[in-house]
């Protein structure tokens, strides 16, 4: 999470964008899934293609299981989670007013995705290219706009013609069709605590469990009957699909066929990297809502800046405005009880 994000509030929906250093979320059936496991010390015999002992996850399974686990550790309202090959979109809000759980959720989720994708592809180093872009939605309309934006991102990028055809992770089937989102996960900590690969009497599959990812409707849609909410989202997505198809036709372009995604090397990088525009302070459906949030943020910063200066100067008991977080320190806070 970026240090520039100073304010988290209980009744605000946050749109999150996180980019990767390569196309790590693409698929490549030509990659040998056993190679990274052998590098970790897994016995070769347990990787026999005819043996069901060692299951190999897909990227979709990794993302879904990581999000479900992160929700168990830090419950928040997750409204959307959508991926393309080089970045992911999330939309979340605090549950029961616990804004601290938002940062815990993002940390747990991103960390597990990075570890498990690296394990799957036999890669090392950073998966994500930098801190998340976390932007508040000032009103219900902008929150819904960002939900549709997240869902339809692969379509607008020309990666798929219909969202139901996407080969990337998406919550569309749950949000528009009511399908459950279920994934399996291996509790590696328990596996290694029991002896890991050195213990020939156990296998990772014995530590496998199934996780269900729960998607929470936006608060202003929560009271709608489920079928009406699904229809609303489905129609909004179809409108974007039709608009994008018309735009690409006018430009003389076509959607990328799904088969080409399966030929993509996850370690490759786009020839023309995405250029991010200026980060918005807030998503708002009107100038009045935008100005109101800017004014509120300005008042918070007036109190935050002197508190931050005092904290960095050694006054560690200084109070920060509600919903803000202390800045990072280059040295640990001294323990007053130590001699």
Tens of pLDDT, residues 184-214: 988 888 999 999 989 989 888 889 999 999 9
CB atoms within 10 A of CB 235: 10
Q: In this structure, is residue 3 part of a structural domain?
A: no
In-domain check, residue 8: no
Inside any domain, residue 329: yes
Task: Work out the average pLDDT over 233-260.
Answer: 94
Instruction: Assess whether 246 and 330 both reside in one domain.
Output: no
Point out the least confidently predicted range of 23-37, 208-222, 248-262.
23-37
| Residue 291 shares a structural domain with residue 277 | no
Q: Which residue has the higher pLDDT, 22 or 79?
A: 79
Q: Which of 19, 143, 161 is nearest to 77 (CA)?
A: 143
Residue 7 Cα to chain centre, angstroms: 19
Region 226-247: what's the mean pLDDT? 97
**Residue partners of 79: CB distance under 8 A and separation at least 6:** 13, 91, 92, 93, 143, 147, 215, 216, 217, 218
pLDDT (0 to 100) of residue 107: 95
Asked if 263 and 277 sit in the same domain, the reply is: yes
Residue 2 lies in a domain: no
pLDDT at 275: 66
pLDDT class of 28 with cuts at 50, 70, 90: low
Could you give the 3-state DSSP secondary structure of residue 210?
strand
Give 295-328 pLDDT, tens digit per residue: 999 999 999 999 999 998 888 889 999 888 888 7
164 in the same domain as 25: yes
Say if residue 38's pLDDT is above 90. Answer: no
Same-domain check for residues 335 and 247: no
Q: Are residues 209 and 325 in the same domain?
A: no
Tokens of 322: 């509600």
Q: Which residue has the higher pLDDT, 169 or 335?
A: 169
Sign of the CA dihedral with 188 first, then 194, 197, and 201 last: negative
**Could you tell me if residue 115 is inside a domain?**
yes
Q: Which residue has the higher pLDDT, 259 or 282?
A: 282
Question: Per residue in 274-299, pLDDT tens?
Answer: 666 678 899 999 999 999 999 999 99
| Residue-level pLDDT at 333 | 67
Report the pLDDT value the prediction gives residue 33, as an integer from 0 to 100. 37
Q: Are residues 115 and 169 both part of a single domain?
A: yes
- Based on the fold, state whether residues 318 and 172 are members of the same structural domain: no
**Residue 324, both tokens:** 């803000």
Domain count, the chain: 2
Predicted local confidence at residue 31, as pLDDT: 38
What confidence tens digit (pLDDT) does each residue in 76-100 have?
999 999 999 899 999 999 999 999 9
Least confident stretch, 122-131, 132-141, 223-232, 268-277? 268-277
Pair (81, 116) in one structural domain: yes
3-state helix, strand, coil split of the chain in percent (to 5) is: 40, 10, 45
Domain of residue 291, residue span: 286-339
Least confident of 17-26, 84-93, 144-153, 275-284: 275-284
pLDDT category at 41 given cuts 50, 70, 90 is very low
With respect to residue 323, please indicate whether it lies within any of the assigned structural domains: yes
Domain boundary, last residue among 254, 284, 314 = 284
């Amino acid at each position: 999470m970026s240090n520039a994000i100073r304010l988290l509030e209980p009744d605000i929906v946050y749109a999150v964008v996180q980019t990767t250093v390569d196309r790590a979320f693409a698929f490549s059936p030509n990659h040998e899934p056993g190679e990274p496991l052998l590098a970790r010390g897994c016995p070769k015999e347990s990787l026999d293609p005819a043996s069901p002992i060692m299951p190999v996850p897909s990227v979709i399974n990794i993302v879904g299981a990581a999000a479900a686990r992160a929700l168990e550790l830090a419950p928040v309202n997750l409204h959307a989670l959508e991926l393309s090959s080089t970045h992911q979109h999330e939309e979340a809000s605090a549950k029961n007013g616990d804004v601290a759980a938002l940062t815990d959720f993002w940390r747990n989720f991103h960390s597990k995705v990075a570890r498990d994708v690296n394990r799957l592809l036999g890669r090392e180093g950073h998966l994500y290219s930098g801190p998340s872009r976390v932007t508040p939605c000032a009103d219900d309309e902008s929150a819904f706009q960002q939900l549709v934006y997240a869902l339809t991102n692969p379509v607008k990028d020309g990666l798929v013609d219909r969202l139901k055809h996407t080969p990337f992770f998406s919550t569309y089937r749950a949000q528009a069709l009511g399908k459950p989102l279920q994934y399996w996960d291996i509790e590696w900590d328990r596996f290694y605590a029991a002896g890991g690969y050195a213990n020939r009497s156990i296998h990772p599959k014995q530590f496998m469990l199934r996780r269900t990812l729960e998607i929470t409707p936006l608060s202003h849609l929560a009271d709608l009957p489920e079928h009406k909410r699904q229809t609303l989202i489905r129609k909004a997505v179809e409108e974007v699909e039709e608009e994008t198809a018309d735009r690409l036709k006018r430009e003389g372009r076509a959607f990328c066929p799904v088969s080409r995604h399966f030929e993509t090397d996850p370690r490759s990088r786009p020839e023309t990297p995405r250029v991010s525009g200026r980060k918005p302070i807030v998503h708002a459906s009107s100038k009045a809502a935008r100005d109101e949030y800017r004014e509120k943020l300005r008042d918070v910063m007036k109190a935050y800046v002197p508190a931050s200066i005092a904290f960095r100067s050694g006054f560690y008991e200084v109070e920060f405005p509600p919903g803000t977080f202390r800045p990072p320190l280059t040295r640990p806070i001294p323990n007053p009880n130590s001699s």
